[in-house]
Structure 1
C-alpha cells in the first residue's frame, strides 16, 4: 500500500493525528475458553477521505473488508469497547 502512495499514519505524544492515512495493527486480544489469546494476522485502516475509511483484517485462512466512517476516538478502527 505504501508503494501505491499511501502514507503511514503518524501520531503525536498525546495521540493527536499528524498526517498519513494508512494504519496497520496487530489483531485484538480476545477471551477464549479461560484465557486471552491474540490471533495471528493484521488489521488495516485506510482513511480514503475525511469522512470515509476502508478497514480490513487478514489472516492465513480468513479476511474481511468493510467501509465505514472514522471514529472520533480511534480513527478508522472501531473502539475496543462499545461506542
Structure 2
C-alpha cells in the first residue's frame, strides 16, 4: 500500500470498527444486518458486469467462507466485509458469534480485498 492508501484505509477502518462492535454486541452478524449497517455509512456495494468488469461501488459483504472440520465442511455464522479504499488499499473485516475484527491490507490479484481461499 502507498502511504496515502494506508492512511485512508486506516480512516475507513476506524469508521467501521465501532459499527461492527455494536452489531456484535447486538448479536447481529448476519449478512443482511451487516450490509444495511455498512450502506448506512454511505458505502456503495460493488457491481460487476457480465465479464467481471467493475461497474462501481467499493463494498463487498459476504457470508463466512466454509472450512473443513473433521469429515465435512462447516460454514460458521457471520459476515465478512471487503472495502476497496483505493486500487492499492482495502479494509477487510468480519463479525461472528465469537468475535469481530477490522484490518487494512492491499488487494489480492486473485480475489480483491478478500484473502484467496487457496494458497497465495
Structure 2: how far apart are the matches of 1:23 and 1:51? 16
The 3-state SS of whatever aligns with 1:18 is: strand
Q: Which residue in 2 is equivalent to 1:2?
A: 39
Give structure 1 regions of 4+ aligned residues with deviation exceeding 4 angstroms: none
Q: Which is strand-richer, 1 or 2?
A: 1
1: CA distance, partners of 2:50 / 2:76: 28
Greater share of helix residues, 1 or 2?
A: 2
The Cα shift of 1:82 comes to 0.9
1:37 aligns with 2:74: yes
Aligned partner of 1:69 in structure 2 is 106
Aligned length: 83
Structure 1 stretches lacking a partner, 5+ long: none
Greater C-alpha radius of gyration: 2
Helix, strand or coil: the match of 1:40? coil
Structure 2 unaligned residues grouped into runs of 5+: 1-37
CA RMSD of aligned residues (A): 1.1
Shift of 1:23: 0.4
Q: TM-score, normalised by structure 1?
A: 0.90
TM-score normalised to the size of structure 2?
0.64
